[in-house]
Every structure is written in structure tokens, then in C-alpha cells.
Amino acid sequence: MESITPSPSIAPARGFARVCVARHGETAWNLEGILQGWSDVPLNELGREQSFAMARSFVGERFDAVWSSPLIRARECAEIIAGELQLAPPVIHTGLMERGFGVIQGVPKTELAELNPALLQQILRRNPAAEFDGGESIDEFADRVIDALEDIGAQSASKRVLVITHGWVMDVITRHIRGLPRDTILNMKRRNGESLWLEVSGLSVRELHRPEADPWN
């Protein structure tokens, strides 16, 4: 892929990667309240429309590359955006996968309310300290997400890149950039297509602010 040089007014600081992290578009399981985790669930029609809207909102951002989780809901979103922005196909990074929820992946929340109401309450609160049988621990998950972010930053020095990933992944990144303990409950949930802007260099990650509105508002 031919690199595009950002204009001086918006170029990343020398040695830093400008990274936009965004949640994938909507899936049927999002609507139905089914825990996805590592289950490979495609975008629904609205999710694809959101992906095209994201691409339109990113025109002029001069991204050099798109990175993605390997899960199809993120990968399809990333492929749509890369195609619309005339960029190379997304680079896949396994560290960007959603948290592994173990045996409850694919279980509707209505069913989980009967099977394990206490765990459901932890999930609804997005409690990172919740324990999932057969799934990832809080530290296993957070370690791989931050390692992936630092790896992408190292490979993208002085470039601008878009990263398509998942909601719980964005929670990990939010805690990290705000200096919060890993078990902090954020009392928020990133919407499908919502983005987070960062500057990454080595172990340094700081949040940036993009004034534009979300693409579907």
C-alpha cells in the first residue's frame, strides 16, 4: 500500500502513532442480547450501514492502514471501511479479539438470568473482575489487549491507523489511558461504531479528542 503523508496540522508527533480505535457495527446477537465473545457472528444490515457511515466520517483522516480483530463482525466492518477509503485490506491482530467468555458464549441473557443471575448482573455492569468458566481472566485479557495496542503503535510510528475491535476491548483501553485499576467498573458502554482516539509510542498511550460528531447522528 502506498503511504499517504498527513498534512502538517494533523500529523502525529514524531515517533508516535495516531490510533483511532472503534467498535464494530451491530450484529443480530447485539440486538438479541446474546453474549458473543469469540463466537463468529457477522454484521447485520444496520451494522453494515454503520460501517459505511464510519468510512464516510473518516474521509480526510488520511489513515495509512486499518487493523482489525480476526472475528468476522470486526473484520467485515474493517474491510468495508478500508475498501471505501481505498486502503489495503485490514491487518489482522489476534490481540484485538473480544474477551473470551467461555461456556456462556452464545447464551442469551434472558437464559443466563435463570442459569446464573449473579453472573448476569456482573455482565450488565460490565464488571471486568467477573469470572467466566472456560474464559479469560481479567489479567489474561487486559495483558493481551495492551500488548496488541503497543505492538500496533510500534509498527505504525509516525503513521495514522484505524483499529476495529470490540466493546470490552475498548473498556480495557479506557481504563489504561485513564490510569484506572483493571477492576474498575466504568459505568458506560461503547456504542457500535463509537471511536476512541489515541497517541501511542512504546509504553506511552494518551487519549486525544476528536470534535466531530458520531457518523450516524
Just list the catalytic residues: 24, 98
Neighbours of 140 (CB within 10 A): 12
Q: How far apart are CA 12 and CA 17, in angstroms?
A: 6
Beta strands 17-23; 160-165: pairing state: parallel
Residue whose entry in the numeric block shows the C-alpha cell 491507523: 161
Q: Are 71 and 141 in contact (CB under 8 A)?
A: no
CA distances, 3 to each of 62, 66, 150 (Å): 9, 12, 21
C-alpha cell at 75: 473484520
For 39-159, where are the E strands, in sequence order?
Answer: 65-68, 91-92
